[in-house]
Chains A and B, each alone.
Chain A
Amino acid sequence: MKTKRWDLSRRTFIKASGLACGYALFGVRMAREGAARVLDIVGLRQDSVHKADANPALYRYRKSQNNPMVKALYASDGFLSEGPAGSLSHELLHTHYGDRSASIEGIDGLRRY
């Protein structure tokens, strides 16, 4: 007759401890692997980027248009006085692209998109 709540028989205790051991062995490993997959090397670096962005000690401004050095560049007496996408910035900061598809003609086994 059971008197206490945790009054286990010998057999039940061994069963339970066996399960607990198994769970401890595999469960911890699985949990660790799961955590490692979530916080892998790339994830850690990405987190760090977002933390740095939100840290006013590292970056005082969070918007590009508030950067004083960018303002100075685009100021009316600045280097790019015409503002973004002006003619000097088109000359210096914009480019053009070329069709390179001919360079891979005749190469077999590429993933064709």
Chain B
Amino acid sequence: MSDSSTYENPGAVSALSGTFQRMEGVNYRLFSPEVSNLESVFFVETDPARCQGCGKCQVQCPTGARHKQPDGTRDVVDPAACVNCGQCLTICPYRAIGEGTSYVPEVLEKLKDPNTVVVAMTAPAVRYALGECFGLPVGTYVGGKMHGALRRLGFDYIWDNEWAADVTVMEEGTELIERLHDGGTGDRPLPQFTSCCPGWIKFCETFYPDLIPHLSTCKSPVGMLGALAKTYGSEETGVVPENVYTVSIMPCIAKKYEGLRPELNASGQRDIDATINTRELAYLIKEAGIYFTALPDEEADPALGISTGAGTLFGTTGGVMEAALRFAYEALSDEVLSDLATTAVETGRGLTKVTVEVPGFGPVRGAVVSGLDKAAMVCEKVRAGRADYHFIEVMACPGGCVNGGGQPVDPSIMDASLFKKMVASVNKRFKMRRIA
């Protein structure tokens, strides 16, 4: 997936002002947001000069935040209505949609600073897509090479969100079991929703505030890892938490929003100092001149690094459910789960129902859904009291984090054909003339 610009119109001058950097085919505004401008920043930004007004993003948008402008182009109408999932960005055939924030300059500065201990916190889904930026086949697992590249980039500790995902399973699973034993009464009702996906969390808070008690109170894995890195991690390594700079590396745009949430300061400082995504990591590696495909496979750093298969499953839809069931089965029945096929989750389109017979407890019923339009249908069911599930996993991107808004973009979507481009530009001119 080279950064081909075969389709790029050389005459198109950006209509946005500011400093931009193109990373893996996507435009990034080089701007590090602060907590104070959390609600005013556009994490997903459209360049009106490049937008051809085809309307694909408007169809894709789960909240309807993308509106038709008077000149036919589409843009996010208000940051409050956008859940930052970035699905519009991944399907734009004209590369008109970019990101409004990038921590890359700040991260580079911190990596050079000898007094700062920079910690990398990588998400599971990153290692299944990063290889594509270096010409490896789609879906190649590059976890070991990714750790090696991060070490060569100058990160002092490489801690893994897969480990934090294991901790999340313990916390979220325990919470589920508590709710099951309480029978879902009081302020902790059943079904319990997962809380790993920041796009889904913002969606629920904005569009279904009455379902907030159903959300697991657990932070997302990176929220936990950020807090643990500056407390437990500092204890283990003997580094003063004030000197630690945590960089969360995500397949996601919404995680940038999550990292800025004011409540994520359990360690006494900001738990997550910077958030970059897969494309930005690929850019950093390329800029540093690291020969990625020749790197040896390396391990993450101990204490907060060793992970399990359950942790890596968090990167795909159905994975959180499967990981949680592996834990809940053993915790509820006090038996060892010998055949993992018992709790396997096979996801299809739309809603996937899972029922696992747990000895000594009975059936545990789960539902898995990815894509917020489908999540909304499940929410309606829960609101109407017609959902007899115990546990519902929601991911905002169709297919889960491997299809996140921060992942390398499918080149076949990015490069619109010459014919399409011609039709679109004629249409755009026509619309503009009608307005004027």
Contact = CB atoms under 8 A, between A and B. Distances in A.
B202 A100 contact: yes
A95 B175 CA distance: 13
B80 A94 contact: no
A64 B215 contact: no
Contacts of A111: 62-64, 376
Interface in B134-151: 137-141, 143
A97 B215 contact: yes
A85 B175 contact: yes
B224 A92 contact: yes
B312 interface: yes
Interface residues of A, number: 55
Interface stretch (A5-13, A23-31, A41-49): A41-49
Interface of chain B, main secondary structure: helix
Contact of B174 (A84, A96, A104): A84
B279 interface: no
Interface string B313-328: 1011101000100110
Contacts of B167: 64, 70, 73, 93
Contact of B170 (A42, A59, A68, A84): A84
B204 interface: yes
B379 A113 contact: yes
A67 B166 contact: yes
A113 B208 contact: yes
Given A50-B316, A53-B312, A95 B170 contact: no
B316 A49 contact: yes
Interface string B210-227: 001001011100011001
A99 interface: yes
Q: Interface size bucket, B side? A: 35 or more
A113 B376 CA distance: 7
A73 B227 CA distance: 14
Contact of A103 (B80, B312, B327, B331): B80
Nearest to A103: B80
Output the residue of B63, B124, B204, B208 with the most chain A CB within 10 A.
B63
Contacts, number: 208
Most chain A CB within a 10 A radius of its CB, from B63, B78, B167:
B167
B201 A64 contact: no
A62 interface: yes
Interface stretch (B2-10, B49-57, B301-309): B301-309
Contact of A64 (B128, B227, B326): B326
Contact of A67 (B64, B77, B308, B398): B308
Interface of A: 41-54, 58-70, 72-74, 79-80, 83-85, 89-101, 103-104, 107, 109-111, 113
Given A64-B167, A73-B167, A95-B218, 5 more contacts: A42-B398, A42-B403, A58-B141, A65-B330, A111-B376
Interface of B: 39, 62-65, 67, 77-78, 80-81, 124-125, 128-129, 137-141, 143, 163, 165-167, 169-171, 173-175, 178, 201-202, 204-209, 212, 215, 217-219, 223-224, 227-228, 231-232, 235, 263-264, 266-267, 302-313, 315-317, 319, 323, 326-327, 330-331, 337, 340, 376, 379-380, 398-400, 402-403, 410
4 closest Cβ pairs, A-B complex = A53-B309, A44-B139, A48-B139, A45-B402
